Structures are given as C-alpha cells and as structure tokens.
Structure 1
C-alpha cells in the first residue's frame, strides 16, 4: 500500500495501517509536546472554580476557533464544545476534558504554580488545579490539533467537549456533565461513543490503566435529621436523646456493608462525615443532623444500601422514642462510571498499540466518583487513567489528588494525547 504523506497545519501524517498510524501519531504528539506543556502551564496558573470558568472558556474557544473548528460556548453555563467534520459519513466520537479547579492553596514551588483567588460559599479562597484538569484540557487540545491535521483520514465527526463543574456545581446551581446532557450536548450531531481520561499522580508516566464494567463508584449523599426532646444533661431520663440515637445509627449504618452486602462480590462505602448537634456540654439538644456519602460499584448494591438505610434509620429512631428523616439523595448523585465491556474489548488493542503491552494495565475499581458517568448512561463510553508520576518517585510518596502538594509531571501528557487521538481514529475506521 502506498503511504500518503500530507502536511496540514505544520504536522506530518502518514497513514497505512493501525500500527503505522500509532507510530505516526506518536511522532506528531512529540512535535507538539512543547505546546501541550505550554498550554498546561498557562491553565495551571489560571484555574477557576466550578461554573466560574469564564477566562478558561475564552482561552479554549479561541484556540479551537483558530484550528478552524465549529465552536459553541456557554454550554452548561461555561462549557465549550467544538466539532470537527471530516466531510465523510461515519460515527460521531465525543472526547471530553473537565476544566474546573478546586478551592485548594497550592504549596509546591513550581514556577507555574497558582496564585489565583476565587469565591467559594461566599468566601475568598485560593484556587488550584489539584486534580489534573489542567492536563486534561491540554491533552484534548493536543488531540484536537492532531485530528485536524488528519482530517482526510477520518470518517465522521469528532465532538470535543470541554466540560465545566466536574467537581460539583455551587450550592443551588446545576452544572457539570449532567447539565450538559440535559442541554443536549450529545445531540446535533448525535454522539455514538464517548472517550475520556484522567491523569493519576500515583501511576507511572507512560502507563494507561483500564477496566471493563464499573471503574469508579456511584455516589449518593445523604442527610439524617434526628429529633428528640431537650433536657438538662444532669437529668437525661427527661430527654429523648438524639445524640445517643445518632451514635446508634452511625454504628448500624456500618453493618450494611459488613453484614448485608456480599463482600466477596460488592465493594461499597457508607461514610458519615458531618455530625451537628447541641451548643453546650450540659444540655441534651433537641436535634442532631448527620450527613454522609455512599459509594457503590454496581446497581444492586446501591439499591440494597438505600433500602437498608431507610429501614435502620426508622427502626432505631422508633426504638429510642425519637423521630428521624432520611433525605436520600441529598445533593448531587452520580451514576457508576461504567465502561461498556464490548467497547472496552474492541478498543483494548488500540491502547496496546499506543502504549505498548507492558504499559497497559488492568485497574481495580475505585470508590472515587466521576460525572463522566452521566455521558455513559446515554451512550457507550470508556474512561481511562494515564500516569503522571515520575518514575523516580515511589508510589507511596506521590502527593494525592485534591491536596496542596498535588503534582503530575508534564511528560505524562504525551501518552494522553496519543490515546485520545488513536481511540478516535481506530473507532472511526474500525481498525480493530
């Protein structure tokens, strides 16, 4: 087969086979890697909080327009969507990157560290890309540049989705992937498949991790309001004590996972993170509130935990002569981040060609959550992890996500650019 070489936008593409494609995409990713790093550094220095990514959106929109793409702004408040049309019939592939930062003060000494300030819950707070969303944007920008250069090799359309508010919309607001889906981001043109990835500070640079089925947990927040009768702490028999009642509930909730789930099959977490009640040490209060989170990795476990919580809260309150209201869900609820097994099987050879067999590893499911799951409830999708940890750093010493010391190395982004690009091309051309 004759190799056809084309220069588009300063990038060289040579297309013959899936393997040749992967090799060429790797070369192209190397060419633009300095730009990807530059984009990442700029975005890292200018983080913005959920639903407030105004300047980030302008930066992304200008870049995408300069690539010659059809661009839509203001999607789900501050999201940006761009479409690349190959001009040939074929599927519509969606590629997603999240764009919001976190209310975290950066404590490292990077020359591009963030000094940004934002507003969170009515207070001025430092803002940091403490989960790698800056790298996600830069990687998708890189993939967009390569895919534009390869336009004549594509069949169908690519929809680049830069999504706000993955970390959760501010109180009283909608946002994130759920709002994007509600506003029709998967329509016009209708998306056939979605690909997304997350950089990981504890995974070696050059590694990609995958899992068929549930890879990240569903999340449900809950609130329990326990009401009793107030009394002097010296005369507890005159009270209906919501403090003691809440203590019994907290312990009982832990038995749902340990005694009602099939622990060899189901991973789940029930955590109470907030207890509020009382204002003086010698007064038994009238009311106590509990708030917490539930994490599940399959729908059956999620249903069981919800049923068991209602049952236990009601029974314990009645046994203590108190009343209790369980509000579930209370606030945001995310579905399971579920990688379609047949799609995973189809695209796994792409990961191997891209990263090399020894660098493609099956991951264990994690109890963290991702709102990419809302896209996956509508269309088949894959969510993957790429490494951001320097090889010289031990996994135990890698700063975790959502912390002031969080760090991922620039060199991890090149693989992410290649993964997004090759998944798109292989799916379009049915190379597998």
Structure 2
C-alpha cells in the first residue's frame, strides 16, 4: 500500500512539473492582445535592413519600461535587453530578427503595409513578408512576462533584437555577424541561445524542429560576363554575352544534377537576376548574373563553389568571352546542438502538447542565426502560423504572405519556458 501511494505521489509530482508555472501562464494569456497589437504595428510600419530605426526605438522604449539594462545601436540598429534574475546562474539569449523586405504587399488587411523605400536604386514597397514582425512581438511579450518573474530566474536572460537578417545592403556590414563582432554575446557572456521562425505553411499550435543541420549555408554569387558588342543583325561580328550567360546557367544546373550526391544532402543553385542589354537589335558588351547557392554539407559546398567558378570561366572562354565570379557568404549551416535540442524538445512538448511538436527535415532556406550557433550552443525551431484547414498557404517572401495572429501566444510560451528551463535546470 505504501509503495502504491508513493507511486501515485511520484506521478502527480511529475505531472505537476510537466506544466508551466500557473502565474507565468496567466501573464502570457493576459498579454496576448498586446502581443498581437505590437505585431500589427510592426507589420504596418516595416523597415528595410540596416534602416530599422523606428522599429528599434519602439523595442528599446518597451524594454526600458520593464526596468531592463538596454543597449542600442549594436550593428547599427540592433537592440539588446538584459534581465537579471534574483538568483545567480548562467546566461541564456533569446533572439528575434527585425528587418522587412522590399516587397509590395497585396493583402487587404487593416494593418497592411503601404510603406515604400528605395532598394538598390529602385523604388519598392516594404513588407514584413517573412514574419519578422511576429518575431519582434513574441520576444517583446517574453521580455514583459519574464520581467515580472525575476524571482523564478536563476541567472540572466539576454534579449537580442537583430537587424538585417535578410542581409545588409551591398557594401555594408550588418546582421548577426556584426552584432557578434560588436560583442553581443559578451558582457555578460552568453552560454546558450534560442530562436524561432514563424512558418506560413505550418498549422497554428504546431512546432517543428530537428537536431543538427536544420537550415542551409547560403552563398551569394555574381558572374560578370564580358563579350563584344555588335549589331543584332550581325552576331558573327561580336561575342554575345547573353548567349554565354544562358550556357553558364545551364552548366551550373549540371553541377547539381550530375555532380552532387543529393542522397547525402540537398543542394540548390539559383540565378535570380540577369542584367544585360539596352535595345532589341543591339548585342551588348557585357552581362551580369546574380544568384544563390544553398548547401547542407560542407564538402558539397566547397565542391559546388569550385566547380561553378571553373565552369563560368571555361564556358565563357569556349564562346570567345570572359567570365569572372564574386562570392559572398550570407550564412553558414544553422546547426542545432544535439544535446540542447533534446532538452528543448521536452520543453516544447510541455508547452505545445506531446503531439504538436514534430520532427522535420532540413530545408534549403538560410538563417544568419547560424552565426550565433557557431559561437555558443543554440536551438532554432519553426512555429506554426497557418490557420488550421488552410490548404493553400502563401510562401514567405511573397506579396500575399499571411500569418494567423493566434499562433503568437505559443511562441511566447515556448521561448519563455525554454529560457527558464535552461537556467533553472542547468
């Protein structure tokens, strides 16, 4: 009888431990409307990479109102809040990206973006077409909730609001790399870091994650092709850089289809922009190709970069022209620390429900959160933002991109509990 009572007591104790603190949970539920309002404010007032001045000001004002130590101007527009718990311990960082994209919104929302700006010399609409507005609002919510419960924190929480995740403008530094360079992971030194990304194709209430590589390394490349101009009626008098560009693009794809072992890991080469010519009857002197390479394996990455560089030059030479390449690394592989991920999954299942946390395969999107993970162990996961039952969600980075606000509260719960569990169970 005594053993049975002990067993029942143990079960009750374990079940109690497998729940969020009631007072924290109540504060999260109370703050839901405020989080949604913040999200809609940022959606209606987006700013491009390295230009997030108003966004940063609003974030900083909020963190200061919570009594935090606040640093601004990190990596141009980055904001960091430091929340010290009542008890000593480790330091955990939570990160949200804050920049928007040069995309003109097509949604008919009361908080639709009508902002415009100049991007690479062209006037464009500006839109939070990747969900960074939700990331900001979620982390602001976590900051407000945890600031009310410093007595439950063994250590320090560092809130990192990072600019230019989509990449700084050409010729500028920015993003996670510059934040790290300017000391964001020091004073106090960060021991672990967590981040999330909303996903328009994952149902609200669902979280997806995996250990090790979850997102790809990203390279940006430029190919400059030199030919020889001539009249369009006499192509034999010149060297056509547009034809050479077409052959180079075709050649690049054979690196993926014929030289890359896609059984080991996926890889992608995409040419996203071609610039050449002025008139229908003029063969121009030059052309420029701009694109991206995505890899999840370091050996494949090195091989693809080497072969593309060789191929562009060789193809151009074969047709009487010349091609040179420039490379810029955008991100490394977003790598989830296996041990930290195992613990994080337990926490995420507690807040979302056992059946609402799913394993996922790696994707070829990229994230500069990966640079933080190069320095300290980290976990990155995906949060559902699709209205359940939606069979045709719009992709990220498109004018119709849409997120269901009801998914934000789970994000607040997840990051709050991840921070508490890391600090209090370390």
TM more than 0.5 = yes
Matched, 1:364 2:361: yes
Matched, 1:333 2:327: no
Structure 1 distance, partners of 2:102, 2:283, is 35
Q: Deviations over 1:16-43 (max 9, x none)?
A: 9642336654333212212212222222
Write the mapping of 1:19-418 to structure 2, written as runs, cut at 5 A: 19-21=18-20, 25-329=24-328, 333-394=330-391, 397-418=392-413
The change in CA–CA distance for 1:255 and 1:202 in structure 2 (over 3 A counts) is same
Structure 2 distance, partners of 1:386, 1:199, is 5
Q: Secondary structure at the match of 1:91?
A: strand
Structure 2 distance, partners of 1:141, 1:36, is 8
* Residue 123 (structure 1) shift: 4.8
* Residue 257 (structure 1) shift: 0.9
* Residue 374 (structure 1) shift: 1.4
The change in CA–CA distance for 1:149 and 1:266 in structure 2 (over 3 A counts) is same
Quote the RMSD (CA, aligned, Å).
2.1
Residues 209, 386 of structure 1: 8 Å contact kept: yes
Q: 2:420 — aligned with what?
A: 425
**Structure 1 unmatched runs, 5+:** 1-15
The change in CA–CA distance for 1:337 and 1:238 in structure 2 (over 3 A counts) is same
Deviates more, 1:230-239 or 1:353-362: 230-239
Residues 25, 422 of structure 1: 8 Å contact kept: no
Deviates more, 1:422-431 or 1:184-193: 422-431
Structure 2 distance, partners of 1:381, 1:52, is 27
Residues 388, 412 of structure 1: 8 Å contact kept: yes
Structure 1 distance, partners of 2:116, 2:374, is 35
Q: 1:7 — aligned with what?
A: none
Deviates more, 1:195-204 or 1:336-345: 336-345
Residues 19, 350 of structure 2: 8 Å contact kept: no
Residues 78, 164 of structure 1: 8 Å contact kept: yes
Residues 19, 351 of structure 2: 8 Å contact kept: no
* Residue 226 (structure 1) shift: 2.1
Structure 1 distance, partners of 2:107, 2:27, is 32
**Structure 2 unmatched runs, 5+:** 1-14
Q: Secondary structure at the match of 1:52?
A: coil
The change in CA–CA distance for 1:118 and 1:317 in structure 2 (over 3 A counts) is closer
Residues 330, 368 of structure 2: 8 Å contact kept: no
* Residue 70 (structure 1) shift: 0.5
Structure 2 distance, partners of 1:340, 1:23, is 30
Q: Deviations over 1:43-69 (max 9, x none)?
A: 222222222221211111111111111
* Residue 235 (structure 1) shift: 4.2
Deviates more, 1:409-418 or 1:286-295: 286-295
Q: Secondary structure at the match of 1:21?
A: coil
Structure 2 distance, partners of 1:33, 1:375, is 29
Q: Secondary structure at the match of 1:221?
A: strand
Residues 207, 355 of structure 1: 8 Å contact kept: yes
Q: Secondary structure at the match of 1:225?
A: strand
Structure 2 distance, partners of 1:41, 1:228, is 50
